[in-house]
Chains A and B, each alone.
Chain A
Amino acid sequence: MELRRLKDRLKTATRGHKLLKDKSDEMIRRFMLYIRENLRLREEVEGELQASLNSFMLARAVSSDAAIEEAVSMPGTRLKLSASSQNIMSVDVPVFEITKEEGGELYPYSFATVTAELDGAIASLAELMPKLLKLAEVEKTCNMLADEIEKNRRRVNALEYVMIPQLEETIKYITMKLDENERGATTRLMKVKSMLEQQNGVQ
């Protein structure tokens, strides 16, 4: 009875193992695609961000601190996202979409009070924002995929090196025990038969 149950479990375990292994392969394939994009985006964004922050620093150097702070303190636009999630290999990853509020102006200050450097810095920063968000999205996806791949690998290994060998071991033990019993029964029968024959022969 137990043997039958164990055999069923072994079958399930083997099938699960195969499925998980396939899943792992596919996840790694996708992960490679994402991580490549992540690297590319990261390099691009860091370069561009550096440039625009530098020009912003330059603008601060040219005008007084107070003027700059006043200029940017009341933003004309407000950047908003609609954040949803997407399912990649049963991992929920975020997806963003920028929903800029309409009617706002990019430059929330009078052009008379600040220099052109600030305009440039802000314009390039605003341009960079979608890319920055894309980076956020991709990087998060990579993070979560990496995590999931690791977890999945643990599961595969647990099945492959612990669960399946253990089940096989137990099945083997039970089978041998049953065979042993059967052999014991056969010999007993044969013995009884020969004893009976002997008795019959004496009489």
Chain B
Amino acid sequence: MRDGLIAVVGDKDSVLAFKAIGVDVFPVSDEEEAKERVHALARTHSVIFVTEQVAIWAEMYLKRYKARAYPVVVPIPSAEGGMGLGVSGIRANVEKAIGADILFNKEDKQ
């Protein structure tokens, strides 16, 4: 069973820092590795932080986990910078639930 463990998956530069604060760190460098790693971690960890690159690589699995309570997969920006994947995910959610992108339009007007 999962035991409230936290994992970070991503390129080595981005994830190494997390190791020092005591979370499980898994550096990956290519698409195959990323998919396998995320898939395996989904069974053992409850929260998985992935860099945006990994999120794109393992998109197939992440979609599957979206509707379940665990694991919680969260995309984070890598050391090189973010691609705005997190915010676009929020936007997609709004669109899915309400049918129109009301949240962001409003902000544009302000």
The number of chain B residues with a CB under 8 A from chain A is 40
The number of inter-chain residue pairs (CB within 8 angstroms) is 148
- Does A72 lie within 8 Å of B103, measured CB to CB? no
Interface flag for B93 (CB, 8 Å): yes
- Does A94 lie within 8 Å of B72, measured CB to CB? yes
- Does B4 lie within 8 Å of A35, measured CB to CB? no
Give the contacting residue for A73; candidates B2, B19, B72; CB below 8 A: B19
Contact with A along B86-103 (1 / 0, CB 8 A): 110110011011100001
A interface, size bucket: 35 or more
Q: A31-B97, A94-B72, A125-B20 are in contact. Are A80 and B66 (CB under 8 A)?
A: no
- Does B5 lie within 8 Å of A132, measured CB to CB? no
Contact with A along B33-72 (1 / 0, CB 8 A): 0000000000000110100000000000000001101101
- Does A143 lie within 8 Å of B16, measured CB to CB? no
B10 to chain A, nearest CB (A): 10
Give the contacting residue for B103; candidates A35, A46, A60, A68; CB below 8 A: A35
Give Cα A82 to B67, complex, Å. 21
- Does A46 lie within 8 Å of B5, measured CB to CB? no
Known pairs A49-B76, A80-B6 / 19 extra A-B pairs, C-beta < 8 Å: A39-B87, A39-B103, A42-B87, A42-B90, A43-B87, A50-B81, A68-B16, A69-B16, A72-B17, A81-B47, A83-B46, A94-B46, A106-B20, A133-B6, A142-B93, A144-B69, A145-B97, A146-B94, A149-B97
23 A-B Cβ contacts within 8 A? A28-B98, A31-B98, A32-B103, A35-B90, A35-B94, A50-B82, A53-B14, A53-B78, A54-B79, A75-B22, A77-B22, A81-B4, A81-B6, A82-B4, A93-B69, A104-B22, A106-B20, A125-B17, A133-B6, A139-B89, A139-B90, A140-B69, A145-B97
A interface list, Cβ under 8 A from B: 28, 31-32, 35-36, 38-39, 42-43, 45-46, 49-50, 52-54, 56-57, 60, 68-69, 71-73, 75-83, 85, 92-94, 96, 99-101, 104, 106-108, 118, 121-122, 125-126, 129, 132-133, 135-137, 139-140, 142-147, 149-150
